[in-house]
């Protein structure tokens, strides 16, 4: 019986250590990718500043053709809501919260009980081209229950690998569209459409 008690005690201590560690680790996450596009900032900005144009370049646009999408408003405050059974798409809302044409825009994302994040597009003119920097910033504890916070903090370490490829695909799609060489967005690899 004492071996079982020791095992349970060690197991309990490990669980406490993992949970406590989740609260002690940094909770903020930053993911960033960039690309140079052979088009002026104004042209690229037009593809970013209206959610209606995102279908032409978004890395998530073709993952679930049956996803429910709703875009409301325009300009500052424009909101896009989506719902899908595909876990790669999920459900949530994205709202344009800052516009600085043609230099930058920021959106606020809400993923229900999965948390919140802010995505920023920064457009930097380079001669006749534009460098687009797409970044995501999130506090992995914000918008989730107290019990889920330590788990979400650990997921923060995976965020770059989870989102980075999507951002690279999206930026390449944006480049192709802005440069006039795209007929359909590139698909994410390793993802099945539902």
pLDDT in tens, 98-133: 999 999 999 999 988 778 999 999 999 999 999 999
Domain boundaries, the chain: 2-178
Mean pLDDT for 135-145 is 88
Look at residue 17 in the predicted model and tell me its pLDDT. 80
| Predicted confidence (pLDDT) per residue in 49-102, tens digit | 999 999 999 998 888 888 999 999 999 999 999 999 988 888 999 999 999 999
According to DSSP, the residues that pair with 134 across neighbouring strands are: 33, 121
Residue 155's Cβ-count burial label (10 Å; 0-12, 13-18, 19+) is middle
- Radius of gyration of the chain from Cα atoms? 20
Order of strands across the sheet that contains 28-37: 28-37, 129-139, 116-126, 104-110, 91-100, 79-83, 68-72
Look at residue 194 in the predicted model and tell me its pLDDT. 38
CA 139 to chain centroid, in Å, comes to 13
Nearest to 34 by CA among 132, 156, 163: 132
Would you call 48 helix, strand, or coil by DSSP?
A: helix
102 cis-preceded (ω within 30 degrees of 0): yes
CA 175 to chain centroid, in Å, comes to 18
- How would residue 187 be classed by pLDDT, with cut points 50, 70 and 90? low
CATH 3.30.530.20 fits 2-178, yes or no: yes
How far apart CA 141 and CA 107 sit, in angstroms, is 19
pTM, two decimals, is: 0.83
């Amino acid at each position: 019986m004492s071996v079982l008690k020791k095992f349970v005690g060690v197991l309990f201590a490990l669980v406490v250590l993992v949970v406590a560690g989740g609260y002690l680790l940094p909770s903020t996450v930053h993911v960033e990718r960039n690309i140079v596009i052979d088009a002026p900032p104004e042209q690229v900005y037009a593809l970013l500043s209206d959610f209606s144009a995102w279908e032409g370049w978004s890395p998530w646009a073709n993952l679930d053709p049956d996803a429910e999408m709703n875009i409301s408003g325009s300009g500052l405050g424009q909101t896009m809501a989506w719902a899908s059974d595909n876990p790669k798409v999920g459900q949530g809302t994205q709202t344009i919260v800052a516009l600085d044409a043609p230099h930058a825009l920021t959106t606020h994302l809400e993923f229900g009980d999965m948390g919140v994040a802010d995505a920023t597009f920064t457009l930097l003119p380079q001669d006749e081209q534009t460098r687009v920097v797409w970044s995501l910033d999130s506090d992995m504890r914000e918008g989730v229950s107290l019990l889920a916070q330590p788990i979400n903090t650990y997921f923060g370490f995976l965020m770059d690998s989870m989102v980075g490829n999507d951002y690279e695909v999206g930026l390449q799609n944006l480049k192709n569209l802005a440069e006039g060489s795209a007929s359909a967005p590139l698909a994410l690899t390793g993802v099945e459409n539902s």
